[in-house]
Amino acid sequence: MAADQPSTRARQALVIEYPTTRVLFEKRADRAMAPSSMTKLMTALLVFEGLRNKSLRLDEPVTISKRAARQRGSRLSLRSGDSVPLGALLQAMIIHSANDAAVALAERVAGTEAKFARLMTKRAKQLGMKRSRFRNATGFTAKGHRMSAEDVALVAGIIIAKFPRYYAYFGQPSFTHAGKTYRNRNPLLGLPGVDGLKTGQTRAGGYGLVVSAKRGTRRLILVVNGLKSESDRKREAARLLEWSFRRAAEKQ
């Protein structure tokens, strides 16, 4: 690593070039961590794969279960028995980080969230995600629910490369459901080249973010986690991203 590499208050951090996966910055990137709502990248990936193989449709109605409707935290306030298009649930989960939408999608794919979590773990292993074990579709703190920054970056890269149509959802500035508009939670949207992905926050994981940006022909993926506040998350992520673009240009 470079002698001028910056320090960071993040507990875990990683910046890579994509698709080369050249590491520009890392701090405990291979350590298992509580990924919070960055988990939803894996939830989204399984839904994207279902859409690709036509076992799912964006326009199909999904009935909201009692369990999905009871989810706490960020949500759409869906009610048990509601019928919502799958595409709307997908956008709500990605843009607003809606936990009720995430559970509804998991139940549509696998019948129960527990079965879906097992599918997530199995698929992660197939993809080479060495430290990922899932207990739910949302990222709520649970014993054994873990990813590493490396694993988060890996699944982000797969989404960018394999599902460009759906990757565009991550860059939408807002989403409207039932007359209410929800703004995208990604604090770096609007910075040069930033076009996705996802925030996360729990007491166990701290404040986290996985973000991608493309400037010219160069794309970077950044992961930070374990920060103490929203302002820390935004500041550290922006600073590391700018340093990494400069570093990447120097190493051409």
* Catalytic (active-site) positions: 37, 40, 97
Q: What angle do CA 151, 195, 14 make, to 5 degrees?
A: 30
User: 29: Cβ–Cβ under 8 A, 6 or more apart, which residues?
Assistant: 12, 13, 14, 23, 148, 149, 150, 153, 223
Task: Name the residue among 43, 47, 83, 46 with its Cα closest to residue 65.
Answer: 83
Instruction: Report the DSSP beta bridge partners of residue 84.
Output: 62
Phi, psi of 8 (to 5 degrees): -150, 150
Helix 99-110, helix 40-52: angle, nearest 10: 40
- 251: which 2 tokens? 């190493």
How many Å apart are CA 140 and CA 72, to the nearest integer? 10
The CB density around residue 102, as the number of other CB atoms within 10 Å, is 32
Contact 237, 188 (CB under 8 A): yes
